[in-house]
Amino acid sequence: MAPSPIVAIGASHASVQLATSLRQAGYSGDIVIVGAEPHLPYNRPPLSKTLLTQQISFDKTLLRQQSFYGKHNIQLKLGARVKSISRECSQVTLDSGETISYSKLVIATGADPIVLNLPGEQLEGIGYLRNYDDTQSLMPYIKEGKSAVVVGGGYIGLETAAALCKAGMVVTVLEGMERVLQRVTSPEISAFYTKAHVTRGVNIVTNAQAIEFVGRHRVEAVKCSNGESYPADMVVIGVGVRPNTALATDAGLNVDNGINIDEFGRTNDPDIFAIGDCTNFPCHFTNTRIRLESVPNAVEQAKSAAAYICGKELPYQALPWFWSDQYDLKLQIAGINTGFDDIVILGNMEDEQVSAWYFAGDRLLAVDAINSTKDFIKAKQLLSEGQSISKQALKQQ
Amino acid sequence: MIKIRIIDPDGNEYETQTDVGGNLMTVATDNLIPGIDAECGGACSCATCHVYINDPKQLQLLGEKSDVEHMLLDYLDTKRENSRLACQVNLTDKQDGLVVHVAPQT
């Protein structure tokens, strides 16, 4: 009997990279990727950017063409949801009742948007952005001159606001905290993005929590904690995500804000790995356990897990990095700024070409680079090599 | 269909065929070519699809680089005059016979 396949749960960046790395390493056994969505694995970052407003076609977001999977003997089971994992039998059970045995199991279930469950949330024209079908259901409401309210001023919310603004909508962003991007960046960069949006016609309201959606069948307005009501022909909610860990928890794997893994992607079961947004891992740079929502993170973890499965140790030590596209503003982030106590700003806010260098004491932690790719690349190199740069040297540039 | 030969950093050669209209990055990823990670999915953000085009004529036929591509390439230690990011190389009939060397990873 042929050995059981390597099974990956979740059909996105992490699993596709896993399959790619397994084949590159010479693994010739069967690979099965189970995905809940009916679509071929695609790139999710464009969901809140060009895909939402149909500036690119869905085909352009596919991670690989269909022929790739057949050519490299990677079996896709799409439109299929894993219901449970049986570690005793080394198998997963699908919603349909079908079971698949595994030699190794890789959980790549990602994260789902936090659902607000506010009164009126079932009204037409209100949506979240987790998958391609979400963009399809919002599409009919994207109309020039109509009003859109974006709930949440994080990266997803701001990218969505930019996309809808470019599509000619009158956009309001409601952010519950004091400033946009509060959880992830400095007051300086928050102020930069606030201004960038306001200049382009987006209304940004902070300290404003949505409390109710009003309308008959379709949404007409969003009521807010500040007593105001904002007209809305459509609403997009982006208030963060939660890792999809239910399968892992039910199977008795260790879970704490993500599925606990080590630098090789291993869970506490030697036959089960986890990769991508659903994981909590020891970060080589912060020396803490963290969870990231990031494609590069998913890709690097997939490489480490695939290597380990093929008998090679390739610990995940790559520098975390991120990007966000809003209007003509290209933000690239190297490193993680958690715990910074000082910041050096280079460039010019007015010209929208700025980089923010975050320090803890004399140690460089991270850089936010806006339309400043060269600063990003430089920072990425310094941080990857464990080097810093003196604030003095930076300021003299 | 056009033919493209890709040589990975270890010197392994891959003969690939592809339809015109796509870009060089997807040809590389579809053929499991090591060294092309394509992390950002072609958004010209990560410089993980760095390649060399050794033939000057072929290089010229690819057209000009955008400012962003210039900037990303400028800060790679492995950058040469004939460097390109594969995600920014669109494929037309003119690229039939293109020979591509994948840059070593930094």
In A, minimum Cα distance to B19 occurs at A65
pLDDT tens figures, B10-48: 999 999 999 898 889 989 998 999 888 777 777 777 778
pLDDT at site B37 = 77
Residue type, A305: A
Q: How far is CA B10 from CA A24, B14, B15, B33, B89, in A?
A: 13, 12, 15, 11, 22
Q: Do A65 and B26 touch (CB under 8 A)?
A: yes
DSSP secondary structure letter of residue A279: E
pLDDT tens figures, A203-238: 999 999 999 999 999 999 999 999 999 999 999 999
Radius of gyration of chain B (CA): 12
- ipTM computed for the complex: 0.86
Return mean pLDDT, chain B: 90
Domains of chain A from N-terminus onward: 6-112+241-309 (3.50.50.60), 115-237 (3.50.50.60), 328-395 (3.30.390.30)
Q: How far is CA B18 from CA A248, A329, B36, in A?
A: 40, 33, 17
β-strand pairing of A6-9 with A104-107 = parallel
In B, minimum Cα distance to A371 occurs at B68
B41 has a chain A CB within 8 A of its CB = yes
Q: Do B45 and A330 touch (CB under 8 A)?
A: yes
Give which of A51, A55, A230 is closest to A150, Cα–Cα: A230
How much of chain A, in percent, has pLDDT values that exceed 90? 91
B68 — pLDDT class (breaks 50, 70, 90): confident
DSSP secondary structure letter of residue A397: -
Maximal C-alpha separation, chain B: 34
Question: What is the spatial distance between Cα A102 and Cα A95, in angstroms, rounded to a whole number?
Answer: 17
pLDDT tens figures, A241-253: 999 999 999 999 9
The Cα of A94 is separated from the nearest Cα of chain B by a number of Å equal to 28
pLDDT at site B44 = 72
Give which of A142, A187, A124 is closest to A48, Cα–Cα: A142
Mean pLDDT score, A354-374: 95
Give which of A277, A231, A272, A235 is closest to A253, Cα–Cα: A272
Backbone angles phi, psi at A237, to 5 degrees: -105, 125
Cβ A366 vs Cβ A339: under 8 Å? no
Mean pLDDT score, A90-111: 98
B106 — pLDDT class (breaks 50, 70, 90): low
Give which of A243, A265, A241, A267 is closest to A253, Cα–Cα: A267
User: How long a stretch of residues is chain A?
Assistant: 397
DSSP secondary structure letter of residue A136: H
Q: Do A64 and B34 touch (CB under 8 A)?
A: no
Least confident of A202-206, A316-320, A363-367, A373-377: A373-377
Radius of gyration of chain A (CA): 22
Residue type, A313: E
Contacts 24+ apart (CB under 8 A), A279-283: A279/A243, A280/A243, A280/A255, A280/A256, A281/A316, A283/A320, A283/A336
Q: Do A377 and B68 touch (CB under 8 A)?
A: no
Residue B83: pLDDT over 90: yes
pLDDT at site A227 = 95
Q: Which helix (H) or strand (E) holds A242?
A: strand A241-243
Residue B57: pLDDT over 70: yes
Domains of chain B from N-terminus onward: 2-102 (3.10.20.30)
Question: What is the spatial distance between Cα A384 and Cα A299, in angstroms, rounded to a whole number?
Answer: 17
Residue A263: pLDDT over 90: yes
Looking at B2-75, which runs of residues are DSSP E strands?
2-7, 13-18, 50-52
pLDDT tens figures, A37-89: 999 999 999 899 888 888 888 988 899 989 999 999 999 999 999 999 999 99
B18 has a chain A CB within 8 A of its CB = no
Question: What is the spatial distance between Cα A14 and Cα A108, in angstroms, rounded to a whole number?
Answer: 6
Question: What is the spatial distance between Cα A234 and Cα A123, in angstroms, rounded to a whole number?
Answer: 10
Taking the mean position of all CA atoms in its chain, how far away is CA A274?
A: 16
- Cβ contacts of B11 within 8 Å, gap of 6 or more: none
Q: Do B39 and A325 touch (CB under 8 A)?
A: no
How much of chain A, in percent, has pLDDT values that exceed 70? 100
